[in-house]
């Protein structure tokens, strides 16, 4: 069963796509954590970069700054 199929259907409105990124195509970049019996998908830093670097929203710029610092601390460049 994919992580998508394991999500509860009535607790939140989940989107399987963001922009042109289909979260089902690249499930290795999504980690599911369970909190009080609810499975919640979280994007890893590589997927966050891919999503936010395509955004023009000012509030994403701070996230991109943090992610740049994280990648630099790990000795790597942000993903393409």
Digit-coded pLDDT (tens) for 8-66: 554 444 455 555 556 555 667 788 889 899 888 888 899 889 888 888 888 899 999 99
Q: Is 0.85 surpassed by the pTM of this model?
A: no
Cα separation, 56 vs 28, whole angstroms = 26
């Amino acid at each position: 069963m994919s992580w998508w199929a394991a999500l509860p259907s009535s607790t939140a409105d989940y989107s399987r796509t963001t922009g042109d990124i289909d979260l089902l195509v690249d499930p290795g970049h999504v980690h599911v954590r369970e909190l009080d019996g609810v499975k919640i998908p979280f994007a890893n830093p590589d997927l966050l970069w891919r999503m936010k670097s395509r955004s023009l929203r000012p509030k994403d710029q701070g996230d991109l700054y943090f992610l740049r610092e994280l990648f630099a601390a790990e000795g790597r460049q942000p993903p393409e």
